[in-house]
Amino acid sequence: MFTNSVKYALKAVLFLAVHSGEERKIMVKDIAEPINVPKAYIAKLLQELSKQEIISSTRGVKGGFYLTESNLKQPVLNVIYAIDGTYRMNSCLLSLESCNEYKPCPLHHIVSPMRSKLIESLKEKTLEDLSIEIQSGLSYLPL
């Protein structure tokens, strides 16, 4: 469902949600290691997220990546769409172009309602929500 890239991106962003802030910027190598994702790989993803303003960054000495309050208010889904695009999550599981409510593919009735619900949930949950859950020990991030 998700590419490797999205998974890595989510881990990194959630790591930032928990550990960074406008006054606590974190550089690539200090993100890559704890979430164990190859440094060069996650660097590229973070750059893309930054360009799309899903996360924030500053260059140079004392620079790094971080989330602003506004970044934290975003739905998780933003991260997914930013990296994988919207098509992957929304297209028919059998890739039938014409699949829709009126001309459903054989799996549509099974899959479609669940996908809708999943997307709904990923739209509702913000990065901040997940960050709070992690910080209160309701869920766990690394490895």
Partner DNA sequence: TCTTAAATATGATAATTATCATATTCTTAT
Partner DNA sequence: ATAAGAATATGATAATTATCATATTTAAGA
Write out the binding residues for DNA, residues 89-108 only, by CB under 7 A.
Answer: none
71 is a site residue for DNA (CB under 7 A):
no
Whose Cβ is closer to DNA: residue 62's or residue 103's? 62
34 is a site residue for DNA (CB under 7 A):
no
Instruction: Please pick, from the candidates 14, 17, 28, 72, the single residue that binds DNA as defined by CB under 7 A.
Output: 28
- CB 103, min distance to a second copy, A: 5
Q: What is the 3-state secondary structure (H, E, C) of the chain?
A: CCCHHHHHHHHHHHHHHHHCECCECECHHHHHCCCCCCHHHHHHHHHHHHHCCCCEEECCCCCEEECCHHHHCCEHHHHHHHHHCCHHHHCCCCCCCCCECCECCCCHHHHHHHHHHHHHHHHHCEHHHHHHHHHCCCCCCCC
Residue 57 binding result from DNA, a second copy, none, given CB thresholds of 5 to 8 Å by partner type: DNA
Kindly list the residues in this chain that would bind DNA in the complex (CB under 7 A): 3-5, 8, 26-29, 38, 40-41, 43-44, 46-47, 50-51, 57-65
